[in-house]
Amino acid sequence: MTTSRVVVLDYGSGNVRSAVRALERVGAAVELTADPASVLAADGLLVPGVGAFASVMEGLRNVGAPRLIDLRLAGGRPVLGICVGLQVMFTRGQEHGDPADGLDQWAGVVERLDAPVVPHMGWSTVEPPENSALFAGIERERFYFVHSYAARSAPDFVDVTWSQHGPTRFVAAAENGPLRATQFHPEKSGDAGAELLRNWLGTL
């Protein structure tokens, strides 16, 4: 079996080392870089995201990531977003009164969670769709979330995994051809998160 080559996009996000280690543990050959040739050549690209929507977008633009992500997806090359790396795939973020444009891969707006306690921090169950590639064999597991904002809808062509915090139902993960993303942190989600990353590697 050939080892999958994965680039973790290095644009200044805060959780890159844990993502690199998690991927290495499940058998990937991982490179932390923003080099365009490496990003385009890798079997898979992981887009991490920690912090505010607008600052993540600024970091992505600084390394030319919007174009690189577009090129990968146009060629059917897999991309996985994590946390704010999921949020920026949507059209727009409304965070701290500072609206910002996202990558617009999926139409939708990322908004503050409407719940008594924010941020949503801790382990929650999810509701994946049937035949989900990411959640095969781990449909009933819990995953680790830490976020104050989320998308509450997605286009019909996107396979959405849902979760809930207080009264708010939100997008916990999304799968759309080569583009997949999770609101939770698989690299902080123990055995279930490792299995999800292993499932993703199996799609490369």
Q: What is the pLDDT of residues 51-109, one digit of tens each?
A: 899 999 999 999 999 999 999 999 999 999 999 999 999 999 998 777 899 999 999 99
The closest alpha carbon to 127, from 102, 154, 159, belongs to: 159
Number of domain units in the chain = 1
pLDDT of residue 79: 98
The closest alpha carbon to 44, from 194, 202, 160, 183, belongs to: 202
Q: Catalytic residue numbers? A: 83, 185, 187
pLDDT of residue 97: 75
> Phi and psi (nearest 5°) for 106?
-130, 130
Task: Categorize the per-residue pLDDT at 50 as very low, low, confident or very high, splitting at 50, 70 and 90.
Answer: confident
**Domain that residue 48 falls in:** 5-201
Name the pTM for this structure: 0.96
pLDDT of residue 13: 78
Report pLDDT digits (tens) over 4-27: 999 999 998 776 899 999 999 999
Report pLDDT digits (tens) over 148-178: 999 999 999 999 999 999 999 999 999 999 9
As given in the structure block, the two tokens for residue 182 are: 């999770």
Tell me, what CATH number does 124's domain have? Answer: 3.40.50.880
Written as one letter, the residue type at 82 is I
Where are the extended beta strands (E) located within 102-158?
A: 106-112, 120-125, 142-147, 149-151
pLDDT of residue 35: 98
**Whole-angstrom Cα distance, residue 128 to residue 164?**
12
As given in the structure block, the two tokens for residue 194 are: 């490792």
